[in-house]
Amino acid sequence: MFKKFNLQETMSGQNSVKSSVVRGIRTKLVDQFPELGPYVDEILPKKANLIQVKCKDHITLFAIDNEILFFQHFNDPITPTLRLLHQFPNILPHVQVDRGAIKFVLSGANIMCPGLTSPGAKLPEKSLPVDTVVAVMAEGKEHALAIGVLKMSTDEIKTINKGIGVDLIQYLSDPLWKTHLD
Amino acid sequence: MSATTKKTVLYCGVCGMPPEYCEFSAAKKKCQEWLSSKYPEEHERLYGDAAITEKLAQTNLSEDKAAKEAARMEKAMSKEEARMARELEKKMSSRVVIKRVERNKRKCVTSVQGLEIFGVDLKKTAKNFANHFACGGSVSKNPQGQDEIVVQGDFSDEILELILKMHPEVPKDNIEQVEEKKSKKKAPGAVGA
Ligand SMILES: [Zn+2]
């Protein structure tokens, strides 16, 4: 989603989010990402001064103290950024790609099923349904490589084992990763 | 509040990724140098002998394939290095042009071209100029389709100084000052000014 993104070019304005809206966002986040629940007070305190940065193509970034924590496309669910995921690794369910897939992911390619089922890869024991937002971990690495969304359930990834399994949302060193507010 | 669970992650000062991913960075060598000078223990953990043995055990490629892969990586790396060298050269040979353009006898604008090549944020700089000189400043496309900063008024010398002060990454020798007259004088030197 952020293969081409330039904050300076696309930013159309920023403003503080009202605290009532912050509460709404908190509720939605917890609904959408059950794993995030225990951390929500730390990530997005009720009285946080949340800044909303509107960009072109209906992308909205949410930041506290110039740290971009979430983004939203149209009315899609608000999604954590990779930086936030690094700070709170357990807010999303994990899938793991094998070593061979890392360089493709870093160039922004969507993840093919075999990269998720090979010996170096890992899928959670509990099946995850299609459209789940996941943390993409990598063989032998501690930190997440990307954030993606499942294009088929993890059961299907195992059985079909062909085609795209995960669409990338954000990956290390993509333009959003490199974006800093100031 | 409960015990903090927030993790602090170290990011590479060269490529910006966590250092464990630097092996995939285009500037791998520079990344390693950075890490070994700033965080020697982390460097040892990632690039020390123990790490390498472990990595070898992990990889499930056959030796032959691994060698090929290494050769390919090596090639890609040298290509990337050559590309970076070229880019640097391009940077060093490109010029920033501060141009004084006459609009009529009394009024003129000053345009600045080529700052973006040095990684300068044009919009912010234009705003900065405008604040600094209390005049209009904006970014616009010139007829060649390049972005340039346009400041209302004659600030050629002041802008030169300001650029040198604010953006030391732009070498002084690369900045050029020119004047553009709206229409050529019919007979230069014929009439005393
Ligand atoms: Zn690096």
Q: Return the residue in B1, B8, B17, B116 with the most chain A beta carbons within 10 A, the one to mutate for interface testing.
A: B17
Residue-level pLDDT at B180: 76
Ligand 1 (ion): residues with CB under 5 Å are B 12, 14-15, 22, 25, 31
Highest-pLDDT range among A11-25, B54-68, B82-96: A11-25
List of long-range contacts for A39-46, beta carbons under 8 Å, 24+ apart: A39/A88, A39/A90, A39/A91, A39/B5, A41/B1, A42/A88, A42/B1, A42/B4, A42/B5, A42/B6, A43/A69, A43/A84, A43/A88, A43/A91, A44/A69, A46/A19, A46/A22
* Chain centroid, CA A175 distance in Å: 14
pTM: 0.67
Query: In chain A, which stretches have pLDDT less than 50?
Result: none
pLDDT at B188 over 70: no
Chain A positions with Cβ closer than 8 Å to B: 8, 38-39, 41-42, 86-89, 99, 102-103, 106, 119-120, 139-143, 145, 172-173, 177-178
Residue type, B71: A
Contacts of B60 in chain A (CB under 8 A): 119-120
Residue A111 CB burial class (10 angstroms; 0-12, 13-18, ≥19): buried
| Cα distance between residue B162 and residue B146, in whole Å | 22
Architecture of the structural domain at A92-171: Roll (3.10)
Same domain, B40 and B64: yes
Same domain, B105 and B86: no
Write out the residue limits of the CATH 3.10.400.20 domain(s) in chain A: 7-87, 92-171
Distinct helix (H) and strand (E) counts, chain B: 6, 5
Give distance in angstroms: CA of B186 to centre of ligand 1: 60
Contacts of B17 in chain A (CB under 8 A): 172-173
The enclosing domain of B121 has a CATH number of: 3.30.780.10
User: Please, which pLDDT band fits residue B60 given cuts at 50, 70 and 90?
Assistant: low
Instruction: Identify which has the larger pLDDT, B72 or A29.
Output: A29
- Bridge-partner residues for B178, per DSSP? B99
User: For the domain A7-87, what is the CATH code?
Assistant: 3.10.400.20
Average pLDDT, chain B: 80
